[in-house]
Amino acid sequence: METKERILLTALRLFNEEGEPNVTTNHIADEMDISPGNLYYHYKSKNDIIWQLFLRYEIKIKEVLTIPDVENTTMKDMWLYLNLVFDVIVEYRFLYRNLIQLMNRIEFLKRHFRRILALKSQTALDILKQLQSLKILKADAATCANLADQIALTATFWLNYSVAIFDDSFDEQKKLSHGIFHILQMISPFLDKQQKDLLDQLSREFLT
């Protein structure tokens, strides 16, 4: 593996494990057993490394935000789909845990992340509209728009909330399951009885 790639992978691991503000380029170089000069040959600053990692995240999150086929969608399909979304968020969780500071520090990142937030809301809205067309969900246009924004908000800030509310020893997958549960609970009042019952069953299965 080339040094340039190793730097990104090492930085991603350290940012996720120790928090991006606590990791310097010297830490990354030391972890790799290379000189700081070698690192700076490939990346001129820590912000440059963060930006390159963000571009990888951006590709992955856009791929997963492609609307799933909901022709015969059930709440189990939605649960599994949201798992895919959260998997990408967790892989690049340092971005979410220090989001505001990073957006203030790196102008390009701010603009790109705003587009991703808009895409999250639009994807959620498109899915809700398709669920409406399948007679699975009953809600008017204004309600669907509000739900879409709430879903995007929860998906974006769930990691920070889970760090605050759960003990460090709490199972990581269960943390994600709780996030998915809260998102689907937002739309539960608007579901038909069959899908509500299925959601209750999934909650018991994944949260206990």
Q: What's the rounded Cα separation, in Å, for the pair 173 and 170?
A: 9
Do residues 16 and 94 touch, judged by C-beta distance below 8 A?
Answer: yes
Read off the pLDDT of residues 15-46 as tens digits, 9 standing for 90 and up.
999 999 999 999 999 999 999 999 999 999 99
pLDDT of residue 20: 95
What residue segments make up the domains of the chain, in order of their start?
3-42, 69-207
- Of 51-55, 96-100, 168-172, 199-203, the poorest mean pLDDT is in 168-172
State yes or no: pLDDT of 208 exceeds 80: no
Q: The domain 69-207 belongs to what CATH superfamily?
A: Tetracycline Repressor, domain 2 (1.10.357.10)
pLDDT of residue 63: 93
DSSP letters spanning 111-148:
HHHHHHHHHHHHHHHHHHHHHHHTTSB---HHHHHHHH
Task: Check residue 1 and give its pLDDT.
Answer: 75
Q: Which residues, in sequence order, are CB contacts of 135 under 8 Å at separation 6+?
A: 192
Q: What's residue 78's pLDDT?
A: 84
**Tokens linked to 199:** 């959601």
Other C-beta atoms lying within 10 Å of the C-beta of residue 195? 22
> DSSP character for 66?
S
| CATH class in words for 3-42 | mainly alpha
Band the pLDDT of 52: cuts 50, 70, 90.
Answer: very high
The answer, yes or no, to whether residue 138 has pLDDT greater than 90, is yes
Q: What per-residue confidence (pLDDT) applies to 66?
A: 83
The pTM assigned to this predicted structure is: 0.90
Burial annotation 102-134 (CB, 10 A radius, 16+ → b, else e): bbeebeebeebbeebeebbbebbbebbbbbbee
Give the chain's mean pLDDT.
Answer: 90
Give the per-residue pLDDT at 152.
94
The three-class DSSP label of residue 70 is coil
pLDDT of residue 200: 87
What's the pLDDT tens digit per position in 173-203?
788 888 888 999 999 999 988 888 888 888 8
For 176, residues 6+ apart whose C-beta sits below 8 A from its C-beta are 83, 86, 90
Question: Is pLDDT of 170 > 80?
Answer: no
